Amino acid sequence: MQNSSASNIFDALNFDNRFVRELPADPEPDNYRRQVYQACYSRVQPKTAKAPRLVAYSSEMAEIIGLSEETCRTDEFCQVFAGNRLAPGMEPYATCYGGHQFGHWAGQLGDGRAINLGDIVNVHGQRWALQLKGAGLTPYSRSADGLAVLRSSIREFLCSEAMHHLGVPTTRALSVILSGEQVVRDMFYDGNPQLEAGAVVCRTAPSFTRFGSFQIFAARDDLETLKKLIDYTIRTDFPHLGEPSKALYLQWFEEVCRKTAEMVAHWQRVGFVHGVMNTDNMSILGLTIDYGPYGWLENYDPDWTPNTTDAQGRRYRFGNQPTIAYWNLVQLANALYPIIQKAAPLEEALSAYSATYENAWQNMMAGKLGLLSFDPASDETLCADLATLLKTAETDMTLFYRNLADLNSSDDVSAIHRLLEQCSYKALRTEAREMASLWFKAYQARLKRDNRSNADRQQSMNAVNPLYVLRNYLAQQAIDLAEQDDFSIVWDLLDTLRKPYTQQTGREQFAKKRPDWAKQRAGCSMLSCSS
């Protein structure tokens, strides 16, 4: 680690490192793996990357924090966001948190390979924390190496930005940079370790605080630090709520419940499967965080999970995400209980999750189907029958909804058969064909009740049903080429996914169903936590 500060091209970054200033620090200056008590963070220095090389950056994110595209193309940028130099105002640290992993309390986890550089406040007064992922060991690295590989870094970078443009609450990403180091990974934990290219992502968010950030102090009965973190979080990340107090804690928790519900409803809308919804991967701001073995539904299957580490129990399968988010909120409620000391109001706040989710889901489904509003009397059945049909016909979720907008309330049933034939992964058999006819007639009758013009309905459907998502195999194609030093697909995908709801000429290859070769290929439908 060189101590020299990067020159004034970073002067625009206005740091206000409130987290380190206001919260208790680990007094130990040395960087070795350990349990850290009564502290929210430890100071650390990023590891020197041998030969940093830019893979890609997000121009939108650069602009938000006040950096020009010109700056992003400098060597200084590469050095700073690979962790080799600190820009003026950066104060690197790793945070302490715990978590439930796959339903079991795992104790201290913490930023094992994430190093925060500090928080900037931009010209609009917005706070953005900058964090390097894969920049070396911290006291929280446990038995791992603190590094990340190119494939998982490209996946995190592209997906964060894609989710943002889809309108899904998410952490963002500024850059992905090759470190020039080789990293050993056993991708499927099957005794086949390989050398892979190392990389560092700079990700950004108003805050990276997780459910597990609170849980760790409750688990250790350190109520003093727990209260400090809660008060800090309310003042910094939820300032609109007012000054912290016991009554306000409940209001705050209820807001966390509502934000979490809204986030998960968005996941279900776009077909995103997080893959590792452990409580350390749940953001207090209701942002999608920690892009690991996530995946996108291709053939509609609520039981699908991309994460091979979860293949047995399928705890984090698509259809279970709303239930797991609730389970995670219950764990957060348990962590807050010693401060609030009343169970009933916490339970009441938790019920806000269910109510918000139900409402968000209904609105979301009405939107996807182009209905003016959700009428439970008819639309519960309409949605349930559609889910059965899409599953039976093995239909690509994204393409189905997108193309459904083109069908009219007066079309013959053959229109839905043709649509399913185009979007499905197997031939349309009699059973599915009959199901489709019945469903389509019910749908058309429902549309007639709304008495809306086809053009109006089509436009509203296309605003919520994306044409372009980061299909698993597309990310893998970008990675395969990037591993040969060609980052062109990374840039093409980044650009296409900026406008996921707009059909883009010349980008047809990004709106196709999964090709046969990708069905069983590692990285395309099967991913592990190894990253």
Nearer of residues 277 and 416 to Mg ion, judged by Cβ: 277
CB of 302 to ligand AMP, least distance (A): 23
Q: Give the separation between CA 179 and CA 134, rounded to whole angstroms.
A: 9
What tokens appear for 190 in the block? 């099957």
Residue 46 found at the interface with ligand AMP (CB under 6 A): no
Q: Which does 275 bind (CB under 5 to 8 A by kind): Mg ion, ligand AMP, none?
A: none
Is 331 one of the binding residues for Mg ion (CB under 5 A)? no
Question: How buried is 106 (Cβ within 10 angstroms: 0-12 exposed, 13-18 middle, 19+ buried)?
Answer: middle
Tell me which residue has its CB nearest to Mg ion.
Answer: 290
Sheet holding 93-95, edge to edge: 41-43, 93-95, 114-121, 127-133, 194-205, 172-185, 53-57
Closest distance to ligand AMP from the beta carbon of 113 (Å): 4
How many C-beta atoms lie closer than 10 Å to residue 503's C-beta? 12
Which one of Mg ion, ligand AMP, none is in contact with 113 (Cβ closer than 5 to 8 A by kind)? ligand AMP
281 near ligand AMP, rule: CB under 6 A: yes
Cα–chain center distance at 470: 12
**Residue 286 touching ligand AMP (CB under 6 A):** no
3-state SS string for 41-73: EEECCCCCCCCCEEEEECHHHHHHHCCCHHHHC
Residue carrying structure tokens 């108003």: 206
| Residue whose entry in the numeric block shows the structure tokens 């963002």 | 172
Binding region for ligand AMP (CB under 6 A) out of 29-37, 108-116, 117-125, 295-303 = 108-116
Give the residue from 328, 319, 252, 253 showing the smallest Cα distance to 290.
Answer: 328
Tell me the CB-side half-sphere exposure of residue 378, using CA atoms within 13 A. 16
DSSP, collapsed to helix, strand or coil, labels residue 109 as: coil
Total residues interacting with ligand AMP, rule: CB under 6 A: 17
Q: Which does 360 bind (CB under 5 to 8 A by kind): ligand AMP, Mg ion, none?
A: none
CA quadruple 454, 455, 461, 467: dihedral sign: positive
**Rule CB under 6 A: which of 118-177 touch ligand AMP?**
140-141, 144-147
Contact 250, 343 (CB under 8 A): no
394 binds, among ligand AMP, Mg ion, none (CB under 5 to 8 A by kind): none
Task: Identify which of residues 170 and 395 has a Cβ nearer to Mg ion in the complex.
Answer: 170
111 lies in the site for ligand AMP, by CB under 6 A: yes
Which positions from 205 through 244 interact with ligand AMP, judged by CB under 6 A? Answer: none
Q: Minimal distance in Å, beta carbon 298 to ligand AMP?
A: 24
Residue 156 makes contact with Mg ion by CB under 5 A: no
How big is the site for Mg ion, counted in residues (CB under 5 A)? 2
Q: Which is nearer to Mg ion, 281 or 398 (CB)?
A: 281
CB of 112 to ligand AMP, least distance (A): 2
Residue 97 Cβ, how far from ligand AMP at the closest point, in Å?
A: 7
Toward ligand AMP, which CB reaches closer, 268 or 531? 531
Using CB under 6 A as the binding rule, whether residue 201 contacts ligand AMP is answered as: no
d(CA 276, CA 528) in angstroms, rounded, equals 10
What distances in angstroms separate CA 240 from CA 16, 120, 243, 256, 310, one per listed residue? 19, 20, 9, 13, 39
Interface region with ligand AMP, contact rule CB under 6 A, candidates 42-50, 84-92, 104-112, 498-506: 104-112
276 binds ligand AMP (CB under 6 A): yes
Q: Are 220 and 99 spatial neighbours (Cβ–Cβ below 8 Å)?
A: no
Site for Mg ion in 467-526 (CB under 5 A): none
The set of residues, in sequence order, having a beta carbon less than 8 Å from that of 55 and lying 6+ positions away, is 150, 153, 154, 157, 175, 176, 177, 178, 199, 482, 487, 490
Nearer to ligand AMP, 147 or 285 (CB): 147
For ligand AMP, which is the closer residue by CB, 216 or 333? 216
Position closest to ligand AMP via CB: 112
- Segment interacting with ligand AMP (CB under 6 A) among 72-80, 122-130, 165-173, 274-282: 274-282
With CB under 5 to 8 Å by kind, the binding choice for 110 among Mg ion, ligand AMP, none is ligand AMP
SS3 call for 347: helix
Question: How far apart are CB 289 and ligand AMP at their closest, in Å?
Answer: 9
Question: b vs e for 206-243, b when ≥16 Cβ sit within 10 Å of the residue's Cβ?
Answer: bbbbbbbbbbbbbbbebeebbebbbbbbbebbbeeeee
**Complex with Mg ion: residue 46 or 99, whichever CB lies closer:** 99
Beta carbon of residue 320, minimum distance to Mg ion (angstroms, whole number): 19
Crossing angle of helices 488-496 and 472-482, in 10° steps, is: 150
How far apart (Å, rounded) are the C-alpha atoms in residues 43 and 26?
7
In the set 255, 290, 310, 394, which binds ligand AMP (CB under 6 A)? 290
> How near is the Cβ of 281 to Mg ion at its closest, in Å?
5
Minimum separation from the CB atom of position 240 to ligand AMP (A): 29
Residues annotated as part of the active site:
280
Neighbours of 132 (CB within 10 A): 28
- Give, as ranges, the residues between 273 and 302 that touch Mg ion (CB under 5 A): 281, 290
Rule CB under 6 A: say whether 529 interacts with ligand AMP: yes
Catalog residues that contact ligand AMP under the rule CB under 6 A: 109-113, 140-141, 144-147, 276, 280-281, 290, 292, 529
Catalog residues that contact Mg ion under the rule CB under 5 A: 281, 290
